[in-house]
Amino acid sequence: MFKRVMLFIATNLAVLLVLSIVLRLLGVDRILDESGTGINYEALLVLSLVIGFGGSFISLAMSKWLAKRSTGARVITQPQNSAESWLVATVERQAREAGIETPEVAIYDAPDMNAFATGARRNAALVAVSTGLLRGMPKEEVEAVLAHEVSHVANGDMVTLALVQGVVNTFVIFLSRVVGHFVDRVILRNESGYGLGYFGAVIAAQLVLGILASTIVMWVSRQREFRADAGSAKLNGREPMIRALQRLEANVPSQLPKEMQAFGISGGKSAMMKLFLSHPPIAERIEALRQA
């Protein structure tokens, strides 16, 4: 569910920060300074594109490995029991119907009912489910959740998010360096080379703008969730997915900690919190399925 998107965005922000620091230490930022007072906007745009899309695609390439490491997911290579055999066979059938190669199938130990799909390519993906999901849902609902995740893979959602993230990254890198230049030249009145004021302002602006820009990625993610729900209905029928969503909604704690409300599967109460949700509220997803 939302773990896939949050892990991708967190990795992306970390990669951007590291790339920016490395390029700064190597002196690459000096090419942006034409005469000590101006910005070479063409060079800045090229640099922004390289860092922006580089960070996004590095995050995408690492997504499957990081997902396995962060959740402790165990890929099923040889099913050890009937439940694992059923799980692998179900994903194989759904992948075949969706027109993709069978993803790796994994289980990870967690009490919450959850699942995710990730991977840099449609034909080299990973679908993982929690032990809580397998224990807490009947098979037909688990099947609906698996179809939802397989639909994410078939729709190329991780690649779509990476491309969108690359675009917003480019603007974040570009604007953060304009802010840094303004602080260094106008506020601090530094007239010879970029100083610590520029570097500090760039990092601060990049983090703030990166968080704000993530709302765009989250909006795209919410739209892809509706599409994956529809894909589940196509592969497995509408009612099992509706029942699975209803079960998830019933099992969401009524009072999440304040710092976690923005990322809860049911969403927060304020409009600002909803901007940072990777998934639409469950009630909206159910309604969309019923009207499909």
Annotated catalytic residues are: 149
Contact present, 94 and 117 (Cβ < 8 Å): no
Distance CA 241, CA 266 (A): 16
Contact present, 225 and 285 (Cβ < 8 Å): yes
Contact present, 151 and 160 (Cβ < 8 Å): no
Distance CA 178, CA 46 (A): 14
Distance CA 289, CA 179 (A): 45
Strand-pair partners of 128? 106, 116
Amino acid residing at 85: S
- Strand 74-75 to 126-130 pairing: unpaired
Q: Among 85, 72, 76, 159, which residue's Cα sits nearest to residue 123?
A: 159
Distance CA 122, CA 103 (A): 8
**Cβ-Cβ contacts under 8 Å for 212 (sequence gap 6 or more):** none
How many residues appear in the chain?
A: 292
